Amino acid sequence: MIKLTAKVEEEKETKLFVSYCPQIGIASQGGTEAEAIRNLKEAVSLYLEEVTENHHTELLLA
């Protein structure tokens, strides 16, 4: 299991929640905080799957 950080902020103008993983630079959004985190988890999973499939397995996480 890999533990990563998720930062979530509400965009006042759009009323959307933006989630961001600073370790790998991936962001997502959702109508609620929970949805934004769920969408970020999916985006990170897809990214890590792609990295692994392309044999770029040396990924430094803080």
Quick one: which H or E segment has residue 26?
A: strand 26-30
What does the pLDDT look like over 1-60, one tens digit per residue?
Answer: 778 999 999 999 999 999 999 999 999 999 999 999 999 999 999 998 887 776 555 544
User: What is each CA distance from 2 to 26, 42, 44, in whole angstroms?
Assistant: 15, 14, 11
User: What is each CA distance from 5 to 13, 23, 28, 49, 61, in whole angstroms?
Assistant: 25, 7, 13, 18, 10
- Residue 61 pLDDT greater than 80, yes or no: no
Please give the model's pTM, rounded to 2 decimal places: 0.80
